[in-house]
Chains A and B, each alone.
Chain A
Amino acid sequence: MENLLYRDARNYVPIDVTKGIDHLTGQIVMADKEAPNGYEVMPKCKNCKNFKDDGELMGICESSMSNPKFFAYPDMVAVTCEMYSNKL
């Protein structure tokens, strides 16, 4: 598994598209920098069992009630998604 980036870490809160705050240290960190080992993974669609990757930053949400199933994209945060099921 690739090393976790801050922007994929649960305790990172984005300030903007480039940087955020590491809640565990209180420090401002860059979004695309690697987080220290052991950091918890942020629930995102790409980490969900219900996400079917379609390539080119797109996919399908298998738990969608729509017909056909509604799309999803791997980078979307799923902290509030009641259908989220961690695959990691």
Chain B
Amino acid sequence: MSKKLKEVLANAGISMDLQSGGAAPEKMVDREVKREPHPRIKKLKDIFMDTLSSANNEFTYWYTREYMMHDCEIPVVRRAMALKSAFSHSTPAIYPGELLVMHKASYFRGSFPMPWLSEGFYMAHEDEFYKEALKRGSASVDEHSKFGQGGGNVTKSFGKVISIAGKFGMRQEEIPALLKLAKMWYGKSVDDLGNKYEKMVPEYKTKEQIMRSIICMFDSGFTLPQGREIINYYYPLEYGFDGIIKIAKELKDKVAGKADGDGMVGMNRLYNYEAIILVIEGMQKWINNYAKEAHRLEKITQDEKQKEEYKSIAERLEWIEHNPPRTFIEAFQMIETLHIGVLNEDAISGMSPGRIGLVLYPYFEQDIEAGRLTEDEAIELLEQDRIVKTSIDCFASTGVVGGVLSGNTFNTVSVGGLDREGQSAVNRLEYLILEASANNAMPQSTIALLYDEKLPEDFLMLAMEVIKCGTGYPAFMNTVIAQEFLMKQYCKEGMNLEDVRSWAIGGCLETSPSVWELLHLNGKEYWIPGGAGQPTSVGVHFLSMPKVLELVLFNGIDPRTKEKVYEPHNSKLETYEELWKQFKLYWQITCQVLTWTNNIQHDVWRKNNMAILNSLMKPDCLDKGHLINELGYRYNGTFSIESAGTITMVNSLAALKKIVYDDKSETLDTIKDAILDNFGFKDASEVNSFSLADQERKNNDAGKWEKLHFEVLQAPKYGNDDKFADNILLEWEEFFCEDATHYESLYGLNMYPCQISVSTHGAMGSATLATADGRLSGTTFADASMSAFPGTDRNGPYALLNSASIWDHAQSQNSQLNIKIHPTAIRGIEGSKKLLALTRAYMRKGGFHIQYNIVDSKVLAAAQKNPENYRDLMVRVAGFTQYWVEIGKAVQDELIARTEYEGV
């Protein structure tokens, strides 16, 4: 049998010991803190745990049917009519025990395709789907009702269920309709129209090559056109749906026929208000259908308590269908309805509720004072909210949902932070949000704790307790750094210090602009925060830095595909400076061409598929009469350039600098040959493991590259407080953060740097040859943007923090650092204090984000072997928490291999 890398190195006296700061106990250790939700929530959670991601065509059908009827209508009104019809015809699904109701589709974990964004996937698989749909049916569904690996993912077709994109299950009875609907959007979808026009960009061929080489893996214009932003619940909470219609009607009368000095889009206000009214009417009908269903269930249910609950649900829905909420539970139902409504409007990942502890506080405070609500009841609702959010699926392509998102939809809740006056914003409800997140540990809502020195110590210690549940949340984000970034990016759009303080995390960890609005409740006033910015999921996303470096080394040709991606530079790369200069040139070509092509995709989106519901909720759309597509939002400079594989590239440059250019112990050609030969190892896909240590030597390898491989593995690595490597990171960050601002979005505003990897370090790693740092072909890159490559951070956690904070994080929208810690290292109160001290140290050094996996690596290895025993095991990947069984093997392997700290 072929030798594994860890065996080869062990023979040479080099240990791939991935434990740092001590040795883990031999016996497998569970997490220290374990809690349970309320019994009602436990029952609902049990249903979720045995639920398959399911899709149907209902929303799709009614949207398409209405849209196709109005050929010559004004685009925004046509879209509003389609949305109204789709919401109005969505079948209500209410489950016993629910207090908060309404779902995306008529399943517990339902979703639906949006072929108006992209229909190509269904068309491409037409034959396969048809055959499956018409032939299937003999197998018993019962045989397949238990999950295999993949949790709720429908990875394969079975019985009468067709797997779509390896994730969603659709009944065979729906497949012909899906394909017919997809065909209706051929040539009309954002994908098709965008592609028609992006081909007119003279450099389009380079874009195609970039995508084919997986330097970039995301066309943001039609995959996920919105998201990584904060929703804003203010207007419906303050005015109610009837109130919004009244405002829109009054303003419609005021602007009809008038340009008011704006000859470009002044007239559009009339159509926009008309669209707003139509969409709100659709929402009202949707709510009303749920109310009717609750009344129906009240009549047929025998259980008196359940009967009473259905009655209350119906009454709540009937109230919020028209009016602003009066109580905590009404307000909670209202924001839940709005949230799901917005997610049904578009393919969105990362529509974050934001700081709901402040948004819901007025109702909480008054209900508690009046004796209408107990804290325990509030916690129960917060626990159910976690099921609602975890049940949200986004129906998109395999590459996006699997390769990028790991099935996560990033409905992040933010806690902590500052209030409008600059004092701690923590209130009693935020403590309960943390309590509920520990009681009902589920991936959503992932929690972002906006850290500031002013936050109460007991709140921070409670956060440590939650982290020790192994939830992977709350993540800590640095308020000082975020505020500095926001001022820099949005001051030109009028952002002031007060509004800076209303910020929150959109998506997994995107610093997103927000505003304060004044809410009135029973004669009392409250400033509540809400999103005021465009999506930050947009722009040029996930650029593989190691792959760009590979193209530099191989003169613009991708050795994997043998195709030319960039014009050959023909430089001999004789100095490190030449190498670095060429890397920057290829990087800039990539950013520029993708900016132009993405701008076209987004422009098609804004012309035909603009947000209406999400827009009307965001300041200042309702007031100005302009939606997202006409710069109606308060802040519009949200497009970004997003990097991936930072640390793998930094380590690669460090190895090249040290070995080729400084020590001159090997030539660049030799290293290139070794890379092409994968240092004598098999490709990771052949080994079916994506961690470095498990890679196997080729059967015929005579050890030609052994010495060189040892040498590059021993070269300076990021994460050890070693300036040789860290200064390369510094140089990159200084270049990247400045360079990103030179690209212009379709809204005429400059872009900025974004540094999160989500799951792309797995998918992009699989398309990248070996790298000069000794990483082998097909294995994952280092996680996130500031996490060390597995096993290379050997000087303890504080050294890693020093490496990560060598650059000014306020120059970027974000950065990410994840650390894996063994549960015994932070046991008890003293352990919690140590973890808080570590976190605080990073914040004080100027780090932006840190989060932990509190888990014994042996548990992860066991979970990979026997996933059926670990359905509820959660892990932190990049900026999100996900069920272990729902993430891909490449990322699982990287998590197992990641350095485990035995002491902090």
- Report which A residues bind B (CB closer than 8 A): 11, 13-19, 21, 23-24, 26, 28, 30-32, 56-58, 64-66, 70-71, 73-77, 79-81
Contacts and interface: CB of A to CB of B under 8 A. Distances in A.
Q: Which 10 residue pairs of A and B lie closest in terms of their CB atoms, listed nearest first?
A: A75-B173, A73-B177, A16-B52, A16-B54, A17-B169, A17-B54, A15-B108, A57-B176, A80-B89, A77-B91
Contact of B177 (A19, A26, A64, A76): A76
Nearest to B158: A18
Contacts of B176: 56-58, 73
B161 A18 contact: yes
Contacts of B89: 80-81
A31 B173 CA distance: 13
B174 to A, nearest CB: 6
A13 to B, nearest CB: 5
Given A70-B69, A79-B92, 20 more contacts: A13-B95, A14-B107, A14-B108, A15-B51, A15-B95, A17-B160, A18-B52, A18-B141, A18-B161, A23-B301, A26-B303, A56-B134, A66-B65, A70-B68, A71-B180, A73-B174, A74-B173, A76-B58, A80-B88, A80-B90
Contact of B107 (A16, A26, A64, A74): A16
Nearest to A70: B65
Contacts of B175: 57
B96 interface: yes
Contacts of A79: 91-92, 289
B297 interface: yes
Most A CB within 10 A of own CB, among B91, B144, B171: B91
Contacts of A26: 96, 303
A30 B50 CA distance: 13
A74 B180 CA distance: 14
Contact of B180 (A13, A16, A28, A58): A58
A26 B144 CA distance: 22
Interface string B53-89: 1100110010001001100000000000000000011
B355 interface: no
Given A18-B144, A79-B91, A23 B108 contact: no
B174 A75 contact: yes
A14 B92 CA distance: 11
B87 to A, nearest CB: 10
A32 B173 contact: no
24 contacts: A14-B93, A14-B108, A15-B47, A15-B95, A16-B54, A16-B108, A16-B110, A17-B52, A17-B154, A18-B159, A18-B169, A21-B96, A30-B142, A32-B141, A56-B176, A57-B176, A58-B176, A66-B69, A73-B61, A73-B174, A76-B61, A77-B91, A77-B106, A79-B289
Interface string B465-507: 0000000000000000000000000000000000000000000
Contacts of A11: 300
Contacts of A76: 57-58, 61, 177
| Interface range, B side | 35 or more
A30 B57 contact: no
Nearest to A11: B300
Contacts of A65: 69
A65 to B, nearest CB: 6
A81 B172 CA distance: 22
Nearest to B170: A17
A20 B650 CA distance: 51
A64 B142 CA distance: 37
A73 B54 CA distance: 18
A58 B177 contact: yes
B177 to A, nearest CB: 4
A57 B68 CA distance: 22
B94 interface: yes
Given A57-B133, A71-B180, A76-B61, A13 B173 contact: no
B665 interface: no
Interface string B116-139: 000000000000000001100000
Contact of A13 (B54, B58, B94): B94
Contacts of B107: 14-17
A64 B66 CA distance: 10
Contacts of A81: 89
Contacts of A57: 133, 172-173, 175-177
B176 to A, nearest CB: 5
B167 interface: no
Contacts of A70: 65, 68-69
Contacts of B142: 30
A29 to B, nearest CB: 11
A74 B176 CA distance: 11
A79 B297 CA distance: 14
A10 to B, nearest CB: 9
Nearest to B306: A26
A80 B91 contact: yes
B97 to A, nearest CB: 9
Contacts of A66: 65, 68-69
Interface string B716-728: 0000000000000
B803 to A, nearest CB: 46
Interface in B155-197: 159-161, 169-177, 180
Contacts of A18: 52, 141, 144-145, 159, 161, 169
